[in-house]
Structure 1
Amino acid sequence: MPALNPPRPHTETLANGLRVTLRHAPDLKRCAAALRVSAGSHDVPLAWPGLAHFLEHLLFLGTERFPAGQGLMAYVQGHGGQVNARTSERTTDFFFELPPQAFAAGLERLSDMLAHPCMNLDDQQREREVLHAEFVAWSQDEKAQQQLALFDGLSPSHPLRGFHAGNRDSLPVQQLTFQQALKDFHQQFYRTGQMTLSMAGPQSIEELKQMAQSFSAAIPAGANIPQVAPVPLMESSQTSYQQVNEPRLDLLFAFESLLPSSAQALAFLCHWLNAAKPGGLLAELRSRGLAEHLNARLLYQFAGQAVLHIELTQAAPASAIREKLLDWLGFFASQPDWARLREEYATVLERQQQVSSALELARRDSEQLEDGLSGEGVVALKDILKKIGAVDNFIGEWQLPTPNPFLHVEAPAQNAGLIRGQTSKHRGLRTFAQDRSRSRRENSPMQFSQALPDNTAQGAIYLHWRLESKPHTRLQYHLENGLQSLREDARQAGVDVSFSASGNEWLLKMTGLQAPMPTVLEHALKALTTPDRDFSQEEPKSPALIPIKHLLKALPDLCLERSAVSGDLQQLWSSARWEGLAVGLSAHTQAALGMTLSRVPGVADTQPSTPPSINSQRLWTTLDTGSSEHALVLFCQAATQDICEEAVWRLLALVCQTPIYQRLRVELQLGYAVFSALRQIQGQTGIVFGVQSPGTAPLKLLEHMERFLSDLPAMISGIEEATFIAQRQALSDQFKEAALPLAQAAELLWQGKQVGRSSDYLTQLPLSILTIDRAALLAAAHRLSNAEGGWRCLASSSEPQAPWQVTK
């Protein structure tokens, strides 16, 4: 078992002024880079709101050396990675994750796009329209406007009260003065002294440093430019305000002249404010009927200023809630240096690092977050509590939140599963007890996969139930709500838990550190089978989603046959049939699961799962998304369940990804949420195409997609042979065990189990991809465009004519 203490990153400033943080994490399967520029929307000249965000977009449009089709976004997508960027008030972040063999080329593209953007006027004009569409959607989004309104109590002259989104009016690309401002902003801030590059991967520190130096060589050198400090947050002597919009209560606290370690202090404070465990603030508010939910978070922090937001679901007058909050903060302030809470908090952060991806680690390092609450942080926290007005003469009978039950589970021994005196050479020798344990497992619906090594710290567990009826929405909401506290405790302990429903199926999934999993599973099954009986009979309110996400959420249910609805939990469990899959678990963890698995409700599911076929059908479903914007999702299913068909469909998805984005978003400017990707939904392999548009109706969007798919064979015929071979190899490499993080490998194995793949699925898939020739890809493109596997379309409005069939 690898050491549990994650390494600290190496930090230094290179000779040309670029600051770097380098993290060597040998267990990572991927590498990531996070580049932070110390310049954001508040650093833009007042005449040009949105300029920083606009520049961020422009940098992705290609360079002379790497045009858009060969730039960072296309390259990362082609290698199965992740890439994105974000403009904040005082920073702009660019980040991506790639397999190790592709990482250096990704860095090369990032440095080139930052240093040598083309930014021609035609591209700017098109991208400005995309930003304007985003602005229109943002201005109509209720949650976005609520977020903006939170700053209404601040000084009108503070930049937080200003407009920074950028739109058609604030970005006059044809004006020479705007072009000069854009150029000046890029030259002023996109310099080494203004940047921090953070990298995480399995490479050594020396290898990472060499890549950082190669990256920095392309960036213009320049000293750090201090960013101008803003005016005070508030004009009056008041340091807090509240907003009441029933049932929501927003309490906001503005801070000035904070101590240097205040970031870690505020993170620590938010962690314990948000604790929903017995003894905490929220538990007391609930018991007294004052509030049901609480969320504390930092909205803003820069140059000694900060804005803390505490959002509550109000069930009592705001004055009563605020009084209780300040009283609890007084109790919290009275704790002598928070010794126990600091120890638990440090353990939580350590667990989070153990299960973090390369991208998560690199982004965390770029934000320069501290591990825990240091002595300086304790001093800063006391200063913050004093500024809030928390005094230690509290009157309530408060307690500290109870300890997290999943944090102190002992990790299995390194050679777990061996009897005393054995070594790894004797792994075939077993005790009678181990044989009996193995026999029980072999007779169980739980399959323990041997596809991945069992000597790592992480693992995955899937439990799937097939029910006779579909659970009522009320019941599903109640079960998910009952798991919230457990999910948070498990997340802090390094285990991600999800419980989802699709039609008449339930899926409980756990991924992360395997040591706490048996205990977490035991608690989860108890919560699901014996939940609190006192729950509301009212229909739960679904969270507001943008139209495209609304459609994507509905897609899995539509891929299942309809069934009756039931709200009787006992009846659902009594007739349930279940199966499971465990991946990467050591013999020690498997043995610890034995008793818990014997209590899984239901009986073994021995019936093969056969997804309903829609071959050659074109099914259309219209859903009200509650928005004036249009959205369409098209799920094109593979014609067969054969692994060779899956392999060629994956290559088709890769070939489509960049061109459809280029056509629909860049050339036609139909919308800003344009994507395509391979998905496996309810045992069906297919390609999902999606677009959200402010002005183009779904039938027109479908017409553009159909035209793209009809052009696909010609596009494939035009791919150069070397490019075709490279794409095929890159896709195959993504599915090799050495390149797959455990959670992703486990998900592939689970999807493979759902369609009856053999136990060597992860070996066969990359080999099947390498056997695809151009003729096979062309034949698959024709099957795709002819809908031989069937098309399922979800749209926000409209109903098409034949051959489409409208479903309800």
Structure 2
Amino acid sequence: MPAPAHPHRQHLTLANGLRVSLHHAPRLKRSAAVLRVAAGSHDVPLAWPGLAHFLEHLLFLGTVRFPTGEGLMAYVQRQGGQINASTRERTTEFFFELPVAGLAQGLERLADMLTHPRLTVEDQLREREVLHAEYVAWSQDAQAQQQVALLAGLAADHPLRGFHAGNRDSLPVEREAFQQALRAFHQGFYRSGQMTLSLAGPQSLADLQALAQQFSAALTSGPLQPQVEPPPLAQGQAPSYQHVADNHLHQVIACRAPREALDFLCTWLNASAPGGLLAELKARKLASAVQASVLYHFAGQAVLDIDFTLANQSASTTHIEALLYDWLSFFAHSDWASLREEFALLAARQQQVQGALALARHDSEGLTDEDVAALKILLETLHLPSCEQAWQLPPNNPFLRPPVKDERAGLIRGQTSAHRGLRTFAQDRSRGRRELSALTFNQGLANDSDEGALYLHWRFEAAIPAGLDSTLQALRENARQAGVEMSFETVGNDWLVKLIGLQEPMPAILEALALDVHQPQEAPSAPTPMLAIRALLKALPACCTAGVSVSSEQPMSWATARWQGLGVGLSPASEVAIKAAAARLPGHAARLESTCTSISGQHLWHQLNTESAEAALLLFCPAPTQSLTDEAAWRLLGHLLQGPFYQRLRVELQLGYAVFSSVRQINGQIGLLFGVQSPSVSLEGILEHLQAFLAQLPALIDSRPLDNQALAQQFTVQALPIAHAAELLWQAYLAGHPSDYLTRLQQAIQACTREDLLHAARQLEGAAGGWRCIANGPRINDAWQVPD
């Protein structure tokens, strides 16, 4: 395994004032760009709330040089990348990630849309309706309204207390004064001196700088326009107040401190180790979770939110606040040397594993002595009491350092002789000799990097308790800090654990998992309210899973559980270590049968109750067979229709703000997924629009190039980040495809003809593989069946 490759950075300011941050990381498979404009919602004239967000939307509607179908969004989507934008209080960001070869054209389109937007009244009228739909959803979203209430303790004249979402009333497109303000905002802020460009990729720093220079040349030149400083957040020194709602206590602190200093504080506030704040709150049955985060930061001002999930309705908020301030007093008077060293290791490890987009977005210089001094001053201004509780600083993360070699024989890492009764050494050794036939390692990826992936899939004879995932949150957080993203998925009585990231800590994490799953299970936190379409997406896998018998009459038992696993991109040394660790996993290694069943020709309707009154619908259309020929045709069809689907339903018909289509694999079954959430159209109306669009697919196929090569290129090993490759290979494993699946899939896509695509379109429209609708309302007619 090679030595860790940390990114190389360079910061410079170009002649026209554009600030540039370059990140060269040879391990990356993709490139990313983040363009940050120093102008946001709080920089808009008071007469036009929402103008900054409105302009962000308008910039994506195409230019003379690159119309909508050829603009940045369509281009990135065709390349299989990701793209988005965000309007914050004092900044607006545009960001995308795509294959390395496409970065130059992506930057060319980004510069053009920022510099030469059309801003036609017709476009504005259409897009205003989209923003108004977003506003309606925002006003009905419980989490968004909680955020508004949370800030009610700040000064009334601070812009954080104002309205900035934008809606039909605050964006009077028809008025000339508004048009002048819109253009003045664009001309005043969307110029080189107001912008920062961050690029990340495997390209050399010289190549990245050349791309930045080309991008810079296409911008409107202009100096930095200083942003007006906001009024004080509140009166007094470091004021603090409480907000209680929906089983949460928020301790809000308005302060002045560097962002890095607050991130340092939040890291240790959120720690779940024994002797810390969360552990004490759990022991006293006051709170089940703590999440400290920075809600706002600009010009030194900051709003720190410490969110406590209350253990019960009778939990004393006064007692929680007292424990918080007691812990802060302990922390303020502690020696931070070891914590600073650990914090630096955490930051370095994250840079070692971050993808291109994350690397470009999170551009921090690290914690400095000045930051530490500022944090000390902040804690002093809180007038903390004398510490009374016997607190402890969190120990070092055990996965951040190489494993200890001289462990006592027969014991799992982290155990003492008192743990030997869990399983004897002789049993471990005997079990380790047996071949774990259900744990396989895919050889389709090169194993010459320091990253890899491991999928572990358990099946039980009874339903899985909801608290299992909650019990493992501390392990999950330690794994994340060590460079391994650990996630859990539960569907019926199936449980999937994914480990994706650095190979080195994976065996130790696996051993810890084998221990922790036997710990007493914690009560899960109350689910966070979410948009209706997101609730449907979360329920989709369960709706597509059949043949799983869930028993509620008996408790879940590891003794009768069966499991299978797949490793991807792992070195021979990692495979050996993971096999040894996997021998200690509970349950029996066994190849599991697929829970994917055919619904050919059927129209199934799943109703899910959501809190939203808006119509939300997912339509999942599986391919008729599992063959690679069908998969290639359906992937190419999905690649072709993604842009036109969005253009028709989102831009032209304005059905809503949540409109998308994608290729989706569930339990090894591939299909096309369409999603719409609309504030104005019924479920029946949404389905009618979907069917009308599908009926037009033959004409769409005849009028466009197939683009086989561009799609096939997205599945080359050289272009796939480990997380994407691992998910593809896991789904291929579930579907029974061979280990060279990626190569065969590329060949099948390249061989796809226009007739193959037309045949796939007819299969899709005719529900040859079935249609599965997940919606937040009852079935619209008897043509749809309710599953048994």
Question: Partner of 1:379 in structure 2?
Answer: 373
Aligned ranges for residues 342-741 of structure 1 at < 5 Å? 342-365=340-363, 369-371=364-366, 373-390=367-384, 393-410=386-403, 443-469=436-462, 471-472=463-464, 475=465, 477-528=466-517, 530-532=518-520, 541-566=526-551, 572-606=557-591, 608-609=593-594, 611-719=596-704, 723-724=705-706, 727-741=707-721
| Counterpart amino acid of residue 157 in structure 1 | D
Instruction: Sort the Cα spacing of 1:464 and 1:244 in 2 relative to 1 into closer, same or farther, 3 A.
Output: closer
**Aligned partners of 2:197, 2:239: CA distance in 1, in Å?**
36
Q: Are residue 799 (structure 1) and residue 779 (structure 2) matched?
A: yes
Distance in 2 of aligned mates of 1:244 and 1:759: 53
Matched-pair contact (CA < 8 Å) for 1:649–1:686? yes
Q: Residue 601 and residue 194 in structure 1: after superposition, are their counterparts in 2 closer, same or farther (change >3 A)?
A: same
Cα distance, 1:280 vs. partner?
Answer: 1.2
Q: Which moved more, 1:692-701 or 1:290-299?
A: 290-299
1:784 aligned partner: 764
Query: Residue by residue, what CA displacement relative to the aligned partner does 1:308-332 show, whole Å, maximum 9, x if unpaired?
Result: 1111123532222222211111111
SS in 2 for 1:654: helix
In the alignment, is the contact (CA less than 8 A) between 2:24 and 2:202 conserved in 1?
A: yes
Shift of 1:286: 1.8
Greater alpha carbon shift after TM alignment, 95-104 vs 400-409: 400-409
Classify the secondary structure of the residue corresponding to 2:786.
Answer: strand
Deviation (angstroms), 1:389? 2.4
Q: CA deviation at 1:718?
A: 1.4
Q: Say which of 299, 302, 308 aligns to 2:304.
A: 308
8 Å CA contact 1:32–1:200 kept in 2: the answer is: yes
Deviation for aligned residue 1:108:
0.4
Q: Distance in 1 between matches of 2:431 and 2:250?
A: 55
1:33, distance to aligned residue in structure 2 (A): 0.3
Matched, 1:293 2:289: yes
Alignment of 1:22-61 (within 5 A): 22-61=22-61
TM-aligned CA deviation for residue 607 of structure 1? 5.6
* Structure 1 partner of 2:157: 157
Cα-to-partner distance string for 1:677-709 (whole Å, 9 max, x where unaligned): 001112211000000011211111011101100
Which of 741, 753, 759 aligns to 1:761? It is 741
The answer (yes or no) to whether the contact 2:431–2:583 under 8 Å persists in 1 is: no
The 1:441–1:740 alpha-carbon spacing in structure 2 relative to 1, beyond 3 Å, is: farther
Equivalent-residue separation in structure 1 for 2:561 and 2:184 (angstroms):
65
Cα distance in 2 for partners of 1:165, 1:760 equals 49
Report matched runs for 1:195-344 at 5 Å: 195-235=195-235, 239-245=239-245, 247-256=247-256, 258=257, 262-314=258-310, 316-336=315-335, 338-344=336-342
Structure 1 residue 6: Cα displacement: 1.7
Quote the Cα distance in structure 1 between the aligned partners of 2:100 and 2:238: 52
Q: Does 1:750 align with 2:730?
A: yes
- Cα 1:669–1:480, aligned 2, differ >3 Å: closer, same or farther? same
- Quote the Cα distance in structure 1 between the aligned partners of 2:581 and 2:248: 40
Q: In the TM superposition, what whole-angstrom CA distance separates every residue of 1:595-627 from its partner, at most 9, and x where no partner exists?
A: 322223333434653621101111111221121
- Separation (CA, whole Å) in 2 of partners of 1:733 and 1:50: 40
Using the size of structure 2 for normalisation, the TM-score is 0.94
Give the residue type in structure 2 aligned to 1:517.
Answer: M
- Partner of residue 416, structure 1: none
Q: Is the 8 A contact 2:460 2:556 kept in 1?
A: no
The offset of 1:234, in angstroms, is: 1.1
Q: Which digits, 9 at most, give the CA deviation of each residue in 1:194-216, with x for residues without a partner?
A: 00000000111111111101111
- Residue 569 of structure 1 and its aligned partner are, at CA, apart by 7.9
* Aligned-residue offset at 1:590: 1.7
**Cα shift readout 1:399-442 (whole Å, capped 9, x = no counterpart):** 11122121112599xxxxxxxxxxxxxxxxxxxxxxx9999586
CA drift of 1:468 comes to 3.4
**Structure 1 counterpart of 2:325, which letter?**
L
Change (3 A) 1:238 1:109: closer
- Partner of 1:251, secondary structure, is strand
Q: Could you tell me how far apart the structure 1 residues matched to 2:625 and 2:345 are?
A: 48
Mapped contact 1:576–1:603 kept (Cα < 8 A): yes
Could you report, residue by residue, the CA deviation over 1:176-195 in whole angstroms, capped at 9, with x for unpaired residues?
Answer: 00000000000000000000
Against the structure 1 CA distance between its residues 82 and 437, is the aligned structure 2 distance closer, same or farther, given a 3 Å change threshold?
farther
- AA aligned to 1:797 is G
**How far apart, CA to CA, are the structure 2 residues paired with 1:553 and 1:90?**
33
For 2:761 and 2:383, how far apart are their aligned partners in 1?
66
Question: What residue ranges of structure 2 are gaps of 5+ in the alignment?
Answer: 406-428
TM-aligned CA deviation for residue 235 of structure 1: 3.7
The answer (yes or no) to whether the contact 1:21–1:199 under 8 Å persists in 2 is yes
Q: Partners in 2 of 1:387 and 1:66 — Cα distance?
A: 54
Q: Which residue of 1 aligns with 2:408?
A: none
Structure 2 residue matching 1:485: 3-state secondary structure: helix
Per-residue deviation at 1:766?
1.1
What is the distance in 2 between the residues matched to 1:322 and 1:571? Answer: 38
- Distance in 2, matches of 1:626 and 1:699, equals 19
Structure 1 residues 411 and 9: alpha-carbon distance in aligned structure 2, compared to 1, 3 A threshold: farther
CA distance in 1, matches of 2:689, 2:213: 45
Q: How many residues were matched structurally?
A: 762
Measured after TM superposition, the shift of residue 563 of structure 1 is 4.0
> Alpha-carbon deviation of 1:577?
2.7
* Contact 1:411–1:515, Cα closer than 8 Å, also in 2: no
Aligned to 1:420: none
Distance 1:709 1:25, change over 3 A: same
Compared CA separation, residues 238 and 639, structure 1 to 2 (3 A): closer
| AA partner of residue 745 (structure 2) | L
Instruction: Output the amino acid matched with 2:26.
Output: P
Q: Match of 1:172, SS?
A: coil
Q: Which residue of 2 aligns with 1:116?
A: 116
Residues 50 and 170, structure 2, Cα contact 8 Å, conserved in 1: yes
3-state SS of 1:615 partner: coil
Cα contact 2:667–2:735 (8 A) shared by 1: no
CA distance in 2 between counterparts of 1:158 and 1:542 reads: 32
Seq. identity, %: 55
Instruction: Report the Cα distance in structure 1 between the residues aligned to 2:36 and 2:737, rounded to whole angstroms.
Output: 43
State whether structure 2 residue 9 is matched by structure 1 residue 15: no
The one-letter amino acid of 1:638's match is A
Question: Once the two structures are superposed, what CA deviation does each residue of 1:499-557 show, in whole Å capped at 9, x if it has no partner?
Answer: 211233221111001100011011112222x1306x55xx9743322111111111111
Match of 1:775 among 755, 762, 778: 755
CA distance in 2, matches of 1:491, 1:238: 32
AA aligned to 1:11 is H
